[in-house]
C-alpha cells in the first residue's frame, strides 16, 4: 500500500501502515463485497480493529474499486427501532449520492436527506425519493408499542431498501458494524430475522461484531480478524504513538504493546490521553504512571466501561461482576458456577446466565459449561475491574490505592517483558504436539535423548540430517488437539509459564489396536543436563496434572535445554516418560514439517509425477513402466530400478486386495531426483490400522504380511500412514552413489 497522501474517506484518521498484520482479511473483505452473495460475518475481539477494517474496505470500494456502492452503518448508540431505521435509510441514500457524484466530503458533512435528494443525479433521484417515501419509518403506520414483531417490521421495511436499490441496478454493498449491540438492544429474534432477510434477498453485506457473540448467534459464513502477535502489536504501537507525537524507545514500545495485548482501541486511547495531558512516556516509570491513571479514570477506563455496559449497565449486576472478579483473582477458586452465583447474589438463574453470556462475549471472562472464570494472563480489562472493585466496593482511598498500584506496575514491568521474550523464544509445545500428525514415524534419535547423546550430541545439523535417515524409526500418536496445561489444570502455573507446558490429545493406531493417547509436555530451562532428582520433580508435577484431570493413557515428555543425565533417563523410563533436549525438539519440528533435507538438496531439481490408476488387473504394470522411465532418466542402477518396481507392484496389490476401496482407485505420486526416489501410494477404504490381519483368514493374512515385509526389504524407507478414509504407503529408495 502507498503511505503517501490520499483522499479522505471514512478512514481519514488512520494511515495505511496502521493496518498492520490484517492485510489478508482486508483483501478478503473487499473481495467478498465486490463478488460475493449474501452475508459474511466478521468475527472480532474487542479492540481488534473491526471498524477500521470496514472503514478501509469502504474507502477502497469508494476510491479504487468503483464496482459497487459501499454503505457503512453502525448499530452503536441508543434509540428506538424507528430512529435506527431512519438512520439506516438516510445513510443508504446520502452515501450512495456521495458515491454517484464522487464527492467524499458528503460522507462527513452530515447533510439532510432533503439536501441529498436535491444533489442526487437525475437518473437516481426518483429512485431515492421512492426509497425514502416507502422505506422510511417516518411513513410507517406500525404501532410503536406493539413489541418485538413491530420492531422487526419497522427495521425490515427500512433495510429492504438495499434489496430494492440493487433491483434497480445500483449494486449496493453494506458494511454493518457493531452488530452485537443491535442484538443486545433489539433482541436475538429480531437480529436473526433481519439478517436472514438480507441474506435471502441476495444483499451483499459484511456484519462485524464481537467474535464470541457472532460465533454462537450467526449462521452466516464467517471470517475472523486474528489477534495481532507481539511483533505486529509493537509495530502498530509505534505507528499510533507517532501519530500523537511520541517517538518511543524500543523498550517502552514493547511494554505498551505487551501491556495492551494488541488491543488497538485501548492503545489509541492511551496515547491520545497522554497527548492531551502533555505526559512524558520516556521510560517505564512515566509510562506505568500514565497507564495506571488511564485505568483508574482516563480514556482507557471509559472504553473498558463501555464494553462492560454491553454486559450490563445495572448497578447491582456491575457490583456482582466486580465482586466475582476480585474473588476469582484473590483465591484458589478457578471458576464460579451459575448455581453458586445465583445462591450468593440472588438474581435468578435466567438473569445470571444472561449476564455470564455477555461477560463472555465482551471477553471480560470466559464461560465453560456454566462456569465463569477469568482469562489467563494480564489485561487492561482485568486491571480496570480490580481497580473499580477496590474503589467502588471496598471503598479504598483513591490516592493511596493509585500510589500502591503505580509502584506495583513499575516493579512488574521488567518481568512482564522478560516473560514475553521467553515466550517468543519458547518451543511452542502446543504447535509441536499438533505437528505430530504431519508424520507418523520419526527417527528415534530425534526424540530419545539417550540415543541422541550417544550418536549425535555435538554433531552439526548437516551430519544429523544425513545420518538419521539410517536410524530406526518410531511411531508417534496422531495429536488432534492441544492446549496449554494451565487450561485444564490451573495450579501448574505455579511451576511453569503458560507456554512452557502443553497437553496434546490424540490416538495411536496399528493393524491390531486403536487407542487414545495423551501427551503432557513440559519445557525446562537448564544450563546442564538435568539430574535424577529434578527429572522426578517434574514428572511428579505432570503426573499430578494428569491424575487431577483424570487423563487416561497419558505419556510425559520432558524437553530440557541440555538434556538429561543417564540416571535421570533411567528414572524417567521407569515411569514411561520420554526425555529430549531442546536441540532435538527443534530438529524434530523440522523433520515433521518436511524441512529435514540436506542443504545441498534443497533446490528442486527433481521431477514430481501424480497419476490415478483403477484397481484393474495388470493396471499396476502401467505405474511400473512410469517408474522405470523416471529412474533411468535419473541414472538409477538396474537393481534399484527392479526393487522399486517390485515394491510398487506389491503396494498396488496390497491395496487392491485388502482395502475394499469404494472408488476402486489407487493414487500414486513419484518424487525423484539424483539422490532418492520416493513412491507414495494412497487409496480409500479399510485402513491397515482398522482391521486385524487375522480377521481376513490365515492365508490372506500371511499374504498381506509377506507383501509388507517384502516392501521393507526392497526399499530403504517404508512408512505406512493412515488417512481419514484409507491408507498411504510412502517408500523411498536412495541412489547407490548420490554424489
Query: Is 135 a member of any domain?
Result: yes
Query: At CA 563, angle to CA 562 and CA 568, rounded to 5?
Result: 135
Question: Does 488 or 179 have the greater pLDDT score?
Answer: 179
Pair 551, 700 in one domain: no
Does residue 541 share a domain with residue 501? yes
Higher pLDDT, 315 or 683: 315
* Predicted pLDDT of residue 300: 98
Share of the chain above pLDDT 90, in %: 59
User: What is the per-residue pLDDT for 70?
Assistant: 97
Mark which of 534, 559, 592 sits at the end of a domain: 592
Residue 581 sits in the same domain as residue 612? no
CATH code of the domain covering residue 313: 1.10.10.10
DSSP state of 504: E
If asked whether residues 639 and 554 sit together in one domain, one would say no
Q: What was the pLDDT predicted at 690? A: 57
| pLDDT, tens only, 581-637 | 999 999 999 988 877 654 444 444 578 888 888 887 777 888 888 899 999 988 899
pLDDT in tens, 71-129: 999 999 878 888 899 999 999 999 999 999 999 999 888 889 999 999 999 999 999 99
Are residue 108 and residue 82 in the same domain, yes or no? Answer: yes
Q: What is the CATH number of the domain that holds 683?
A: 3.30.565.10
CA distance 241 to 260: 13
Lowest mean pLDDT among 245-254, 522-531, 617-626: 617-626
The model's pLDDT over 136-152, given as tens digits with 9 standing for 90+, comes to: 775 444 444 445 667 88
Nearest one of 666, 650, 659 to 707, comparing CA atoms: 650
Q: Assess if residue 2 is contained within a domain.
A: no
- Domain match, 92 and 187 both: yes
Domain co-membership, 491 together with 614:
no
Residue 278 lies in a domain: no
Same domain, 531 and 433: yes
Q: Taking all residues of the chain, what is their mean pLDDT, rounded to a whole number? A: 87
| pLDDT, position 268 | 96
* Distance from C-alpha of 496 to C-alpha of 502, rounded to nearest angstrom: 10
Q: Taking residues 322-348, report their average pLDDT.
A: 87
Contact 615, 655 (CB under 8 A): yes
CA-closest candidate to residue 268, choices 288, 238, 232: 238
- Give the pLDDT band (50/70/90) at residue 247: very high
Query: Closest by alpha carbon to 434, among 476, 487, 478?
Result: 478
Higher local confidence (pLDDT), 368 or 703:
368
Give pTM, 2 decimals. 0.76
Specify the pLDDT at position 705. Answer: 56
Tens digit of each residue's pLDDT (9 = 90 or more) over 712-722: 889 988 888 77
Average pLDDT estimate for 440-458: 90
Q: Per-residue pLDDT for 696 more than 70?
A: no
Give the domain CATH number at 193: 3.40.50.300
Same domain, 32 and 103: yes
Boundaries of domain holding 663: 603-734
Does residue 416 belong to any structural domain of this protein? no
Q: Mean per-residue pLDDT for 18-35?
A: 89
What's the pLDDT at 510? 59
Q: Cell 444483499 belongs to which residue?
A: 203
Alpha-carbon gap, residue 189 to 444, rounded angstroms: 57
pLDDT of residue 688: 64
Q: Judge whether 8 lies within some domain.
A: no
- Scored b (16 or more CB within 10 A) or e, 134-173 reads ebbbeebebeeeeeeebbbbbbbbbbbbbbbbbeeebebb
* Spatial contact of 515 and 728, defined as CB atoms under 8 Å apart: no
The last residue of a domain, from among 592, 614, 632: 592
398-439 pLDDT, tens digit per residue, is: 999 999 999 999 999 999 998 888 888 889 999 999 998 876
CB 291 within 8 A of CB 271: no
Query: What is the CA angle 483-357-216, rounded to 5?
Result: 70
Domain count, the chain: 4
Tell me which of 538, 557, 592 is where a domain ends.
Answer: 592
Do 470 and 388 share a structural domain?
no
Residue 730 in any domain: the answer is yes
Asked if residue 125 belongs to a domain, the reply is yes
- Judge if 309 and 172 occupy the same domain: no
Are residues 184 and 44 part of one domain?
A: yes
Reported confidence tier of residue 512, pLDDT bands at 50, 70, 90: low
Amino acid at each position: 500500500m502507498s503511505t503517501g497522501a490520499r483522499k479522505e474517506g471514512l478512514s481519514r484518521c488512520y494511515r495505511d501502515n496502521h493496518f498492520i498484520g490484517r492485510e489478508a482479511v482486508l483483501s478478503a473483505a473487499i473481495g467478498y463485497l465486490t463478488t460475493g452473495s449474501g452475508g459474511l460475518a466478521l468475527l472480532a475481539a474487542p479492540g481488534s480493529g473491526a471498524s477500521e477494517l470496514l472503514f478501509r474496505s469502504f474507502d477502497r470500494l469508494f476510491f479504487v474499486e468503483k464496482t459497487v456502492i459501499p454503505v457503512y452503518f453502525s448499530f452503536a448508540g441508543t434509540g428506538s427501532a424507528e430512529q435506527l431505521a431512519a438512520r439506516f435509510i438516510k445513510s443508504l441514500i446520502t452515501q450512495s449520492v456521495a458515491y454517484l457524484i464522487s464527492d467524499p466530503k458528503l460522507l462527513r458533512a452530515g447533510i439532510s436527506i432533503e439536501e441529498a435528494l436535491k444533489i442526487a443525479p437525475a437518473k437516481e433521484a426518483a429512485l431515492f425519493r421512492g426509497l425514502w417515501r416507502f422505506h422510511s419509518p417516518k411513513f410507517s403506520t406500525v404501532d410503536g408499542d406493539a413489541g418485538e414483531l413491530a420492531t422487526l417490521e419497522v427495521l425490515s421495511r427500512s433495510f429492504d431498501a438495499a434489496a430494492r436499490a440493487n433491483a434497480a441496478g445500483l449494486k449496493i454493498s453494506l458494511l454493518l458494524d457493531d452488530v452485537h449491540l443491535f442484538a443486545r438492544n433489539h433482541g436475538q429474534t429480531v437480529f436473526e430475522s433481519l439478517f436472514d432477510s438480507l441474506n435471502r434477498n441476495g444483499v451483499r453485506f459484511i456484519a462485524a461484531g464481537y467474535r464470541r457473540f457472532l460465533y454462537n448467534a450467526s449462521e452466516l459464513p464467517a471470517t475472523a480478524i486474528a489477534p495481532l502477535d507481539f511483533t505486529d502489536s509493537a509495530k502498530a504501537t509505534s505507528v499510533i504513538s507517532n501519530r500523537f507525537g511520541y517517538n518511543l524507545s524500543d523498550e517502552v514500545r514493547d511494554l505498551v504493546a505487551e501491556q495492551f495485548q494488541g488491543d488497538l482501541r485501548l492503545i489509541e486511547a492511551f496515547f491520545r490521553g497522554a497527548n492531551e495531558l502533555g505526559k512524558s512516556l520516556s521510560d517505564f516509570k512515566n509510562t506505568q504512571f500514565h497507564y495506571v491513571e488511564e485505568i483508574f479514570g482516563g480514556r482507557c477506563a471509559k472504553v473498558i466501561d463501555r464494553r462492560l455496559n454491553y454486559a450490563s449497565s445495572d448497578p447491582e449486576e456491575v457490583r456482582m461482576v466486580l465482586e466475582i472478579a476480585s474473588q476469582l483473582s484473590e483465591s484458589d477458586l478457578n471458576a464460579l458456577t451459575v448455581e453458586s452465583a445465583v445462591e450468593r447474589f440472588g438474581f435468578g438463574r435466567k438473569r445470571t446466565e444472561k449476564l455470564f453470556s455477555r461477560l463472555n462475549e465482551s471477553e471480560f471472562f470466559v464461560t465453560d459449561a456454566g462456569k465463569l472464570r477469568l482469562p489467563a494472563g494480564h489485561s487492561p480489562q482485568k486491571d480496570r475491574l480490580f481497580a473499580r472493585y477496590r474503589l467502588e466496593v471496598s471503598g479504598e482511598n483513591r490516592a493511596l490505592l493509585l500510589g500502591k498500584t503505580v509502584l506495583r506496575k513499575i516493579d512488574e514491568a521488567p518481568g512482564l517483558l522478560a516473560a514475553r521474550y521467553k515466550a517468543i523464544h519458547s518451543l511452542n509445545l502446543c504447535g509441536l504436539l499438533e505437528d505430530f500428525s504431519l508424520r507418523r514415524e520419526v527417527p528415534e534419535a530425534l526424540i530419545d535423548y539417550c540415543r541422541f547423546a550417544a550418536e549425535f550430541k555435538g554433531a552439526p545439523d548437516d551430519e544429523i540430517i544425513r545420518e538419521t535417515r539410517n536410524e530406526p524409526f518410531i511411531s508417534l500418536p496422531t495429536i488432534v488437539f492441544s492446549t496449554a496445561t494451565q487450561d485444564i489444570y490451573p495450579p501448574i502455573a505455579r511451576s511453569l509459564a503458560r507456554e512452557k507446558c502443553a497437553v496434546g490429545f490424540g490416538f495411536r493406531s496399528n493393524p491390531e489396536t486403536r487407542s487414545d493417547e495423551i501427551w503432557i509436555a513440559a519445557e525446562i530451562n537448564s544450563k546442564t543436563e538435568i539430574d535424577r532428582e529434578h527429572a522426578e520433580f517434574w514428572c511428579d508435577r505432570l503426573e499430578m496434572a494428569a491424575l487431577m484431570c483424570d487423563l487416561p493413557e497419558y505419556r510425559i515428555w520432558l524437553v530440557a535445554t541440555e538434556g538429561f543425565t543417564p540416571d535421570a533417563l533411567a528414572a524417567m523410563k521407569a515411569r514411561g516418560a520420554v526425555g529430549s533436549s531442546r536441540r532435538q525438539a527443534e530438529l524434530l519440528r523440522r523433520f515433521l514439517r518436511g524441512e529435514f533435507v540436506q542443504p545441498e538438496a534443497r533446490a528442486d531439481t527433481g521431477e514430481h509425477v501424480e497419476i490415478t490408476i483403477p484397481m484393474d488387473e495388470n493396471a499396476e504394470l502401467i505405474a511400473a513402466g512410469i517408474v522405470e522411465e523416471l529412474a533411468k532418466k535419473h541414472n538409477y542402477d538396474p537393481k534399484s530400478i527392479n526393487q522399486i518396481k517390485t515394491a510398487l507392484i506389491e503396494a498396488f496389490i496390497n491395496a487392491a486386495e485388502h482395502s475394499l476401496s469404494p472408488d476402486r482407485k489407487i493414487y500414486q505420486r513419484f518424487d525423484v531426483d539424483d539422490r532418492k526416489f520416493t513412491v507414495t501410494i494412497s487409496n480409500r477404504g479399510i485402513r491397515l490400522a482398522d482391521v486385524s490381519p487375522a480377521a481376513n483368514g490365515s492365508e490372506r493374512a500371511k499374504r498381506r504380511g509377506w507383501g509388507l515385509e517384502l516392501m521393507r526389504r526392497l526399499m530403504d524407507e517404508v512408512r505406512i500412514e493412515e488417512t481419514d478414509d484409507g491408507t498411504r504407503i510412502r517408500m523411498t529408495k536412495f541412489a547407490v552413489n548420490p554424489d
